[in-house]
Amino acid sequence: QVQLAESGGGLVQAGDSLKLSCAADTMTFSSYTLAWFRQAPGKQRAFVAAISWDSGKSSYADSVKGRFTISRVNAENAVLLQMNSLNPEDTAVYYCAVRFPGHELPSSSSDYTYWGQGTQVTVSS
């Protein structure tokens, strides 16, 4: 069992930046693929970004490519999501997720085993 806790969400204006963090309580954190998903009201949970166990590979949804950056700090059991140039369409609850093994970067939520509770990001126009 892996416990994940997201933080850093909030209310910002269009064009602003925000950084999300997700902390994990596992001793094998460095073995996992880590990802961020988001769910807007009335919509299905959607892939945002993923990063491999060694940070050697990353993947992004087309809608956030060039604006969002995923990174991880294995020594701190943390995965980060830097979000720049936010727009109202980015409003959603953001979730971090983990899967093992840590070299694949699937974009389907069903491929991830553990999830955090989510953090709300609201972007006003």
pLDDT tens, N- to C-terminus, the chain (125 residues): 889 999 999 999 999 999 999 999 877 777 889 999 999 999 999 999 999 988 889 999 999 999 999 999 988 889 999 999 999 999 999 999 999 877 889 999 999 999 999 999 999 99
d(CA 4, CA 117): 8
Give the integer Cα–Cα distance in Å for 76 and 72. 9
What's residue 83's pLDDT? 98
Comparing C-alpha atoms, which of 84, 105, 106 is closest to residue 20? 84
Please say whether the beta carbons of 46 and 37 come within 8 A. yes
Q: Of 53, 61, 60, give the one whose Cα is nearest residue 99.
A: 53
- Give the angle subtended at the CA of 106 by the CAs of 100 and 107, to the nearest 5°: 130
Output the pLDDT for position 8: 97
Cβ contacts of 29 within 8 Å, gap of 6 or more: 74, 77
The CB density around residue 6, as the number of other CB atoms within 10 Å, is 22
